[in-house]
Structures are given as structure tokens and as C-alpha cells.
Amino acid sequence: MRRLLLPLVVVLAAAVQAQDLAWRDSLIRDLYKKERYADLAKAIELQVEQAPGTPWQDSLHRYVYKYGRAMRKLTGGDGAAAAESLVQRVRERGRAPYLLEALFDLSWIYYEAGRTTDYIRTDSLAVVVAQSDPDIPRAKRGKACQYLAFDYSSVGDHTGSARFTQMALDEYAKADSIPAVQWSESWNTLGVAFWHLGRIRDAEAKYGAALKALEGDSSEAAINRRISTLGNLGVLWQNAGDLPRSRSYYYRSMRESNKLIAAATDPSTRDEAIVNRSRTYLNLATVYQGLGDLGQAHQLLELAWADRSRILSPDDPQLLAVRERQGDVALASGDPAQAAELVRSYVAACEAKYGGHSEEYARAVAKLGEVRMQQGQAAQADSLFAISIAASKASGPEETSQTLVQALLRRAALRGASGDHAGSMADLREARRIEVNIGGKESYRVARVDVLLAEQAFPLKQYAEARAFADIALHAMRDRIQAVQSSGLPLMFTDPHILPDAIYWKVRAEQALGTGTDAAEWNKELDLAIRYLARSHAAVKDESSKLLLVAAQQRLFDLALETAYASYAKSASEQDLQRFFTLTETDRSILLKDRLNGFSSMRFAGVPDSLIALEHELTTALAQLPEDREALAQGDVQAGRFKDLLRTFEQHYPRYFDLRYGERKPSLAEVRKALLTPERQLLIYTRTAEHLYALVIGPQAASITRLDTAGLKAAVKGLRQAVDRREMKAFTEQAHALYQKVFAPVAGRLTAPELLIVPDGELGTLNFELLLSEPGVAHYTDHLLIQRYTLAYLLSATTAIQFAGLARERANGVLALAPGFSDQVKQDYRKAVTDSTMLDDRFFRYVRQPFAVMTAQALGRSPSA
């Protein structure tokens, strides 16, 4: 009996132990989901200790990733040594299928730690293991190849990535059944490789196949793959210049990310989804930066940083890549010091992780070179560009390298700025050749380089070549030209300056060549460029970004104004004078339009209140990104609703659309009717890079005078300093000198007692009331301009007319009051105050203002006054 009982006891003990191991295996899964990493590590270690000699000894591969992640969270290290210890135990068992699974998980540990060499080594070993054992299913063999393809893609070896992805697809094709997620994964990776290799159409087709494979699959894995593929389509269309389509894909990817983050039960799946969402924020930020909307770009980058900093270590290049993008925004905003601080750390991280011959390092170094160029450190910038170009050529095929293109474009800018225009053109020609290889001759990126070539050809006096480059660029941008001609809606194209720049250099080249082109043709082309600029500006919501966009195109307005004045100087016609006036108003009112139109829109008759309310709701929503991530992911939906609303305004309420979003400027007749009287004239100053113009508009006649600008800035500054220091002699000298320079040439035409002035340039800080018509200190107050005119200042004639349009119909029985500050009023005030020490001296300096009278008139016509 005892002989029978002993085996029975052994069997029962083994059964109990097996039950403990099974229970603990379930516990391990539960602890991992709950992220109780200390308990998880202890449970795995006990399982590993008790598994030998039981069937559970071949289950240790299940714990490789969980154990590595737990030790990383507990120790602050990368967890790789812990994971390696389990892999070694699996390797000792000699079972290839289990070793393959263990290697897959070890590779993820290395990948998350940023150990590039180690995860490539591990996945390469996995491919060898998978191919060496005939019992391993083809699905697993293909998966091993696919993981190695991911690795090569991560280090910029897209040829290698394409080769191993194709090997994975070949294995899947021979298998009995492959999950849709695996097919999608491979199609997507092949699309990425083809896109980097310049095979754009092939890339689009593979992305489409990846999405099709996932149709109807709502699993977490399928959502994850859909996120990546939608994001890649966003990148593809962004680089093709189709920003509305690109933005739509990014927002779809964002919504899928939010869905996965909310539903994920596996912590690593949730973390991966958060990092993927941050990638969408990064990409969408580049869209807004490409539009010139730096404010929204900055907000998106802050969201990306918040996401990644929760998951990644402080020195992880994926985290620092956000700082790199923020450096881009700082650079575009004109803050190279901040950009340098942000980009330097990214350069170091890229070199440490990817090596000095990687695509990532080459791109980061070129960006740092641009920062140094803006800081005036030309020699260091040139050295950095040379390093970047060499690294770009070493990192992959240079025939399709966007990284090499960017480095060449930046060095071309440096050479052009230093006067080496021939060297700049050499770099630009090489960059153009690569862009043609990538996107074809019709690509907007090729057009961008052609415009830069035209710019560099001009100072070399190669005017015919400059015109040819500009014409080629304009031909490639036919879609942009058609868009601005077919609708008045705001435009959304990457690098909105390209089209205006192409027209600018075309007109400049033709004027230099003396081709005999009719000025009317130049005016037509310049008007197209200005309309395009205004509508591109309308798509930007951030105020500071609007300033940068318009400032970058100031030379376009200068050229248009100089061309218009040349025509007027020959003809002195009302038509040419009207064109000059329209250009000055367009230049001024682009930035003022959004704010000032708001007043008019509040009282525009004939538009339903519901549409006005919807317009306010959508413009507010689009101007500031919402903090709520779910609401943010609906950005494309809101943008679509706003575009539909604008179409409604354009088609059914054209007057309102023209007021709010159109570019029509008032005629001289409208100015005279709304602003002028027999007692009031208008003086508009317009500053270009070379000249100052004075446009005098009276009730009956108008004229333009070109003024000398030599020493103008110093004279205005000198007058201001003389007033601040109370230096009478200096004041009278400067005040008379400025009078002679900017006012005397037109004084004979300014005969009315009231004068509205629209200043520009340096004159924006000048008090015209202080100008002296005669020199000398004695009796100088008799010669102040304020003694001759009642002066008022306008932002622009257009905005003044819009304010005047707020006046309602006259209502009976309404009394309107406005201060007059006449001499009689001042005398009465002096008599009424018995204590002279209580007199307010400032009151005696007050003067009658035309706007005070206009306010009274407007109130008199208002039923609510």
C-alpha cells in the first residue's frame, strides 16, 4: 500500500503546483493590466523559479515584455537586462517557436529604450530563427520579416525596409490564412518605403490597400494600424500640397487614436496610441506652420509634448523631436535664440541614437545651420550645412532624399545672402533635380525651387532666365491660380508665398528686360498675386502669424505701387490714380479687416441671425484649439462646416460676403461721399522701400506726389527726442525740416480747414500738429500746423468708411452732444473757475476733432442714442 501511496502523493503535489502556476499566470496578466509593477515583477520571478520540470517551463516567453517593462518602471533603467535573462532561459529550452516570440518582445523593449543597434540585431536574429525551423508557420515568418522592415524604416534605410516588407508579403501569400491586421501592417510599411523612395503613386496605392484590408475590423490592433495608415496618407497629401485633404486624414487619425486610448486595456497599447496621437499633432502642426499660422502650430506642439512626456524618457529623441518642431516655429517667428536652444539638444540626441550618418541627424544639423544663419554666424552655418549634406548622401539614395533637398535649400539661402548667387544657383539646381525625381516636374515643391532660382538669377542680371524660371513655376501652380480666380473663399495651400513670389520676379524680370509688356498686363498679374495673398491671409487665425505673412510679401505691394505710380506719372489719369489708391488701401486693410468687419457684420440687414450666430461660433472655434482632445479631433468637421457657410454667404448673401471676406476697396467717389466735405480733405501717405508718396484727395480733385525719403527716419526720431528733452532750438529746426520734407510739397493743394491724415512708415509716430511752416523760435506757435488745420488720423480710408457705415437712419426727437473745444468754450471755462490754481491746463490744449463732429452726426441718426 505504501508503494502505491508515494506515487499518488507525488502526483497530487505536482497537480497542486500546476494549479498554482496556472493561477499565477492569470495573476500576472491581471497585475500587468493594473500596472502594479512591483507585484508583477515578484510574481514573474516566482513563476520562473517554480516552472522548471513542469509544462509551464515552455511558457516563459509570455513574460519577456511584461518583466522588462516592470523592471523599467521600478528601476528607472530600460529593463533590457531583465528581459534578456528570460530570453536566455527560453533559448536554453531549444524550442524555436517560443524563442521567436521571446525575441519579438525583447525587440520591443530595446525599441522603447531607443537602443537602435540592439533591436535591429534582435529582429535580425528572429528572422534567422523563423527561416531555420520548418515548423514555424508562414504567418510567423512573415511577421519576423515585417518587424525587421520596421527597424530599417526607423533608421532611414527605406530600401532595406521595402525588401523585408516584400519578403513578409511573399510569406503571407503562401499561408493558409493571415489576419487582416498583418496584411495592413505590411501594405502600410511598403507604402512608407515607397514614399521615401519617391514612388508617390505606388505609396498611395499601398496605403489604400492597407485601409481596405481593415474594413469592418474594429479590434484594437486594427484601430492601431488604421491610425498609422491615415497619418501616412496625411503626410503624403501634405507633401503633395493638398492641405485640405491632408488635414482631413490627420483629423481622422486623431479620432481613431482617441478611440483606442479610451478602449485599450493593455498599457503598452494605450501608450503606443498616445505616442501615435502625438505624431498626428506634430504633423498637423507642420500643416498650420506651412500655412503661416504659427499660433495654432504652437498649440498643437504643446499637446504633442504633453502626450510624449507622459510616456517617453526625457532624453528620448522622439520626445526631443517635439522641441525640434518648436524650434521651427521659433525660427519662423524670428526668434533664433530660442530656436537654437531647442534644436541643439535634438541634434545631440539624434547623433547618439541614430549615428552621424543617419537621415535624422542630417536633418537636425541642417536645421541648426539655419538657426546659426539667422544669428549671423555664417561660417558655422556653412560648416553645419556641409555636414548635413554629407550625412544625407551617406544615409540613403540621394536621388530621392528630401533631407538632402532641405540642406541644399538652406545652404543656397546662405550663399545668396552672402552674395554668392552662382553658388546658390548650383545648390538650387541640384535640389530641383531631386525634387523632380520625387514628385515630378508639376510638383509645387519644384515650383518653390524655380522661384528661388529666379530670385538668384536676378542679381546676376540673368533676367531672361529669371523670367523663364518664374513662368515655369506659375505653370506648375495652375491649381492655385484657378482657385483664386474661381472663388472668393479663403485659400489653403502650403507655402502661400510661392505664387506671389513667382509673379513678383516675373514682373521684375520683364521690367528689367524692357520687353515692351503693357503695364496693364503687369497690373493684372500683380492684382492676382495680391488677391491670392489676401485670401491666404484669411485662412490664418493667429494674429502674429498674419503680421509675418503680410510682412513677408511687402515687396510685392512695393512693386505694385511703384508700377502704378509710373503709369500715373505718364497719364495723370483718374483711372491710374484710383489704382494707386486701391493698392494703398489693400496693403493697409488686410490686417485690419478681421476686426473692423466685425462691427459691420453685427448690423448687416438681410442675413438671418442664425447664420450670423453660426459664423461667430465657428470662427471662435477655429481661432483657438480646444483643450478637450475629443473636441480637437473634430477640427476638420468644424472647418468643413465653416467652408459650407462661406459658400452659402457667397451664393445667397453676396453683399455680406464681400464685406466680410471680399477684397473690394472703395472708389474715390465713395471716399468723397462718405468722408469728405467742402471743408475737409484727405491726405494719404504711402511708404515703399524706395519712396514716400503723398496722395491728396479733395471733394473735386486728387493728385499723387513722390517725396524725398533721405534722412526721414532720423528726422522723425530727432523731432521726438527734441520734444522729450524740451530743446526748443532743436525742436523748431526739426519741425520745420520735416514740414519741408513731407508736407510743404502738397501744402498748396490742402486748402480746406479740416484734414484727415493716413500716415505710413516712419510717419506713423509723427504728430503732424507739431510741424512748423516757418523756421525760427520766435512766435513759433503761430506757425504750428495745428493753427492752420483741424487734424485727425485714420487707420485707412476703407476702415473709416466702414465705421461711417454703422450710422443708422435719423430718428426724430434725439439730442446728440459732442465736445467742441472752441475758443468761446475755453473762455467760458476760465471765467467759471474762481480759483485759477484749479484750472485744468490740459483743457486749453484740446482741439476740435472731426471725429467728434462725426460722432455727433452718427448719434443723431441713431434711434438708440
Given a contact cutoff of 8 angstroms between Cβ atoms, the answer to whether 274 and 224 are in contact is no
Q: Please, what sign has the CA dihedral across residues 204, 207, 209, 212?
A: negative
DSSP letter string over 222-241? HHHHHHHHHHHHHHHHHHHT
Whole-number Cα distances in Å, 489 to 422, 484, 544, 658: 40, 8, 22, 10
For the chain, what is the domain count? Answer: 4
CA proximity to 694, closest of 738, 734, 745, 748: 745
Tell whether 793 and 812 lie within a shared domain.
Answer: no
Place of cell 525760427: 776
Measured CA to CA, the distance from residue 146 to residue 167 in angstroms comes to 8
- CA separation (Å) from 133 to 130, 336, 491? 6, 57, 58
Q: Dihedral angle at the C-alpha atoms of 751, 753, 757, 763, nearest 10 degrees?
A: 80
Residues 785, 677, single domain; the answer is yes
For residues 580 and 561, give the distance between their C-alpha atoms in angstroms, rounded to a whole number.
Answer: 6
Region of residue 461 (phi > 0: left; psi between -120 and 50: alpha; otherwise: beta): left
Q: Cell numbers of 91, please?
A: 533559448
pLDDT band at 608 (very low <50, low <70, confident <90, very high): confident
- What does the pLDDT read at residue 626? 58
Q: For strand 680-687 and strand 790-793, is the pairing parallel, antiparallel, or unpaired?
A: unpaired
Rounded Cα distance, 537 and 531, in Å: 10
Report the alpha-carbon distance of residue 742 to residue 712 in Å, rounded.
9
**Domain presence at residue 627:** no
DSSP H or E run through 696? strand 692-697
Residue ranges in 396-518 assigned as alpha helix (H): 402-417, 421-439, 444-457, 463-476, 478-486, 498-513
Same domain, 748 and 726: yes
- The pLDDT mean for the chain works out to 84
CB-based burial of residue 731 (10 Å sphere; 0-12 exposed, 13-18 middle, 19+ buried)?
buried
Q: Please indicate, yes or no, if residue 848 is contained in any of the structural domains.
A: yes
Instruction: Give the residue numbers spanning the domain of 714.
Output: 668-803
* Cβ atoms 697, 684 nearer than 8 A: yes
Half-sphere exposure of 153 (CA within 13 A, CB side): 22
Q: Which of 115, 113, 73, 108 is nearest to 87 (CA)?
A: 108
736 within 8 A of 772, measured Cβ to Cβ: yes
Block residue for cell numbers 500546476: 18
By the 8 A CB rule, do 677 and 857 touch?
Answer: no
Confidence check: pLDDT of 381 > 60? yes
One domain for residues 321 and 413:
yes
Tell whether 156 is covered by a domain.
no
Which residue among 384, 415, 439 closes a domain? 439
Task: Name the pLDDT band for 741 (thresholds 50, 70, 90).
Answer: very high
Q: Quick check: is 119 in a domain?
A: no
Answer yes or no: is pLDDT of 855 > 70: no
| Residues 260 and 381 placed together within one structural domain of the fold | no
Judged against a pLDDT cut of 70, whether residue 842 lies above it is answered with: no
Distances, alpha carbon 691 to alpha carbons 63, 428, 567, 750, in Å: 76, 33, 16, 21
Q: What percentage of the chain carries pLDDT values higher than 90?
A: 37
Question: C-alpha distances in angstroms, 517 versus 430, 507, 571, 572, 683?
Answer: 32, 9, 17, 20, 32
Instruction: Determine the pLDDT at residue 778.
Output: 81
Q: Is residue 735 part of a domain?
A: yes
CA 103 to chain centre: 41
Q: How many residues does the chain have?
A: 865
Q: Judging by DSSP bridges, how do beta strands 680-687 and 692-697 pair with one another?
A: antiparallel
219 belongs to a structural domain: no
Residue with the three cell numbers 490754481: 837
Do 364 and 350 meet the contact criterion of CB atoms below 8 Å apart?
yes
| Number of CB atoms found within 10 A of residue 845's CB | 10
- Comparison of pLDDT for 384 and 11, the residue scoring more: 384
As a whole number, mean pLDDT of residues 221-242 equals 88
Comparing 175 with 450, the larger pLDDT belongs to 450
What's the CA gap between 462 and 442, in Å, rounded? 24
**One domain, residues 849 and 725:** no
Selection from 304, 264, 326, 317 nearest residue 156 by Cα: 317
Residue 539 pLDDT > 90: no
Instruction: Please give the Cα distance from 341 to 368 (Å, whole number).
Output: 10
Same domain, 767 and 864: no
DSSP state of 835: -
Residue 58 DSSP label: G
User: Nearest-CA neighbor of 85 among 115, 41, 124, 26?
Assistant: 41
Shared-domain flag, residues 672 and 759: yes
Using an 8 Å Cβ cutoff, are 188 and 158 in contact?
no
Local confidence band at 601 (pLDDT 50, 70, 90 cut-offs):
very low
The number of helices, as runs of H, and strands, as runs of E, in the chain is 41, 5
- What pLDDT shows up at residue 372? 94
C-alpha to C-alpha distance for 496 and 493, rounded to whole angstroms: 6
> In 278-387, at which residue ranges do the beta strands (DSSP E only) sit?
none
- Residues 797, 834 share a domain: no
Residue type, 298: H
Domain boundary, last residue among 420, 439, 458? 439
* Cβ-contact 756, 681 below 8 angstroms: yes
Pick 360 or 741 by higher pLDDT: 741
**What single-letter amino acid sits at 583?**
L
pLDDT in tens, 18-39: 678 888 888 888 898 888 999 9
Nearest to 702 by CA among 558, 576, 564: 576
Domain match, 702 and 812 both: no
For 219, other C-beta atoms within 10 Å of its C-beta total 12
* Predicted TM-score (pTM) of this structure: 0.67
Give pLDDT, residue 2. Answer: 41
Buried b (16+ CB within 10 A) or exposed e, 419-447: eebebbbbbbebbbebbbbbbeeebbbbb
Per-residue pLDDT at 22: 85
Average pLDDT of the segment spanning 797-819? 61
Residue 569: per-residue pLDDT: 92
Q: Could you tell me if residue 505 is inside a domain? A: no
DSSP 692: E
Least reliable range by pLDDT among 52-66, 484-498, 645-659, 830-844: 830-844
The torsion angle over the Cα atoms of residues 538, 544, 547 and 553, rounded to 10 degrees, is: -80
Instruction: Based on the fold, state whether residues 683 and 760 are members of the same structural domain.
Output: yes
Residue 277: inside a domain: yes
What separation in angstroms does the CA of 90 have from each of 62, 111, 769? 10, 20, 91
* Beta pairing class for 680-687 and 754-758: parallel
Q: What is the pLDDT of residues 137-176, one digit of tens each?
A: 998 999 999 999 988 888 778 888 999 999 999 999 998 8
Contact 746, 698 (CB under 8 A): no
| Strand duo 702-707 + 754-758: pairing | unpaired
C-alpha cell at 454: 529666379
Q: Is residue 121 scored above 90 in pLDDT?
A: yes
Does residue 243 contact residue 493 with C-beta atoms inside 8 Å? Answer: yes
Q: Which of 439, 467, 491 is the last residue of a domain?
A: 439
* Contact by Cβ (8 Å): 165, 189: yes
Do residues 376 and 265 both lie within one domain? no
| Structure confidence at residue 600 as a pLDDT band (50, 70, 90) | very low
Instruction: Inform me whether the pLDDT recorded for 864 exceeds 60.
Output: no
Q: Distance of alpha carbon 239 from its chain centroid, rounded? A: 14
Angle, helix 158-174 to helix 180-196, in steps of 10 degrees = 150
Dihedral in degrees, nearest 10, Cα atoms 380, 386, 390, 393: 130
pLDDT in tens, 675-695: 999 999 999 999 998 999 999
For the chain, the C-alpha Rg in angstroms (whole number) is: 35
At 9, is the secondary structure helix, strand, or coil?
helix
Task: Measure the CA–CA gap between 806 and 727, rounded to whole angstroms.
Answer: 44
**pLDDT, position 552:** 57
Nearest residue to 357 (alpha-carbon basis) of 540, 157, 160: 157
